[in-house]
Amino acid sequence: MIKVGIIGCGKIAEVRHAPEYDANPNAEIVGYYDVAREKAEALAKRYGGRVFDSLEDLLAADLDAVSVCTANRFHAENSLQALAAGRHVLCEKPMAMTLEDCEAMVRSAEEKHLTLMIGLNQRYAKAHVKAKELLDSGEMGEVLTFETHFAHPGPEGWTGQKNSWFFSKKIAAFGAMADLGVHKTDLIHYLTGHKIVRVKAAMTTIDKHYPDGTLIDVDDNACAIYTLDTGAIGTMQVSWTNYGQENNSTKLYCRNGVLRLYDDPQYSLIVEKPDGTVTPYALDVLTSNKEQTSGRATNTGVIDAFIEALQNHTEPVASGRSALHAMKVVFADEESARTGKEVEVRDSL
């Protein structure tokens, strides 16, 4: 049995971490810590386990691992403290607010031989898993170009608040780019198996306002052109101002055909071949933010993957080290958007 604690008991802990640990027969939630005690109490009431008065008290309990589900600004601090206490960590995305902090997290986990996993649930979505299989098998041939999107109406629908920390540069670092761009940047790296070596990005704030009517200080829309180490180019577009149906689609145009992912309401993967053959796969449906907050979340597979990695002493697919590349790219996106220049993605750690 893997004994876990949850740090930060807001929305993601409520709709994903706590219910998915609860549903996993090999996990037991020992306790919770939140600066807002009532949030921890609500989860304890529903899923069992103790409420702790401080992070130190939680980390001193009989635990193997923790989920870090606090706002972005606290990810590095909470994760480093948990790793220092000898606990494995599953930290929500985006990993941290600076590249230095991301690298410190990876270094700390590796030095202590502990697992650091990042909540990049897109890697575990069934159509993405199947697409990865097809790409790795060589059946599709080289990825020549791609487009990936993540566009929804913004975090207000998720948090239920008109003005949440998601709209604060000090607490979130970025807006749509950190919230959604991290997922899609990571997905391109993960699916193609290639690094993004150059970026040209634009970020803007056009439609989200604070209650006083001023525009928020993080981006509500972002776009990037990515160049892979193979020379292939493609685009990523993320938005908090899509007031229609959520768009979570990706298309990979390969030498031997096209992979369409979450691009059709019925078939989560469609494979088109040059001879005209079209193979649709009805694998799953990605739940939108609206569905998740109304209690219709499906298991993301993230918690099961974390528990499995801890039990088998294997590296999770969304390890901290593998997630580092997307963070480097996102920081390069920010630099490109700020300077108006194309930016090389530097390989550090």
Ligand X SMILES: NC(=O)c1ccc[n+]([C@@H]2O[C@H](COP(=O)([O-])OP(=O)(O)OC[C@H]3O[C@@H](n4cnc5c(N)ncnc54)[C@H](O)[C@@H]3O)[C@@H](O)[C@H]2O)c1
Closest-CA residue to 283 (of 273, 269, 297): 269
Give yes or no for residue 287 binding ligand X (CB under 6 A): no
Q: Which of 2, 4, 6, 7 binds ligand X (CB under 6 A)?
A: 7
Closer of 8 and 301 to ligand X (Cβ): 8
Q: How far is the CB of 256 from ligand X (least distance, A)?
A: 31
Give yes or no for residue 10 binding ligand X (CB under 6 A): yes
Give yes or no for residue 327 binding ligand X (CB under 6 A): no
Q: What letters, b where the CB count within 10 A reaches 16 and e where it falls short, cover 211-247?
A: eeeeebebbbbbbbebbbeeebebebbbbbbbeeebe
Q: What are the backbone dihedrals phi and psi of residue 236, each rounded to the nearest 5 degrees, phi first?
A: -125, 135
* 124 in Cβ contact with 301 (< 8 Å): yes
Give yes or no for residue 74 binding ligand X (CB under 6 A): yes
Give yes or no for residue 121 binding ligand X (CB under 6 A): yes
Residue 242 DSSP label: -
Residue type, 321: R
Q: How far apart are the first and last CA of the chain?
A: 33
* Span from 27-35, 101-109, 220-228, 321-329 in contact with ligand X (CB under 6 A): 27-35
Site residues (CB under 6 A) for ligand X, limited to 163-192: 165, 179
**Pattern 79-98, binding to ligand X, x per CB under 6 A?**
-------------xx-----
Give yes or no for residue 39 binding ligand X (CB under 6 A): yes
Distance, in Å, from the CA atom of 263 to the CA atom of 259, rounded to the nearest integer, reads 10
Give yes or no for residue 59 binding ligand X (CB under 6 A): no
Distance, in Å, from the CA atom of 90 to the CA atom of 302, rounded to the nearest integer, reads 9
Closer of 153 and 280 to ligand X (Cβ): 153
Give residues in contact with ligand X (CB under 6 A).
7-13, 33-36, 39, 69-72, 74, 92-93, 119, 121, 158-159, 165, 179
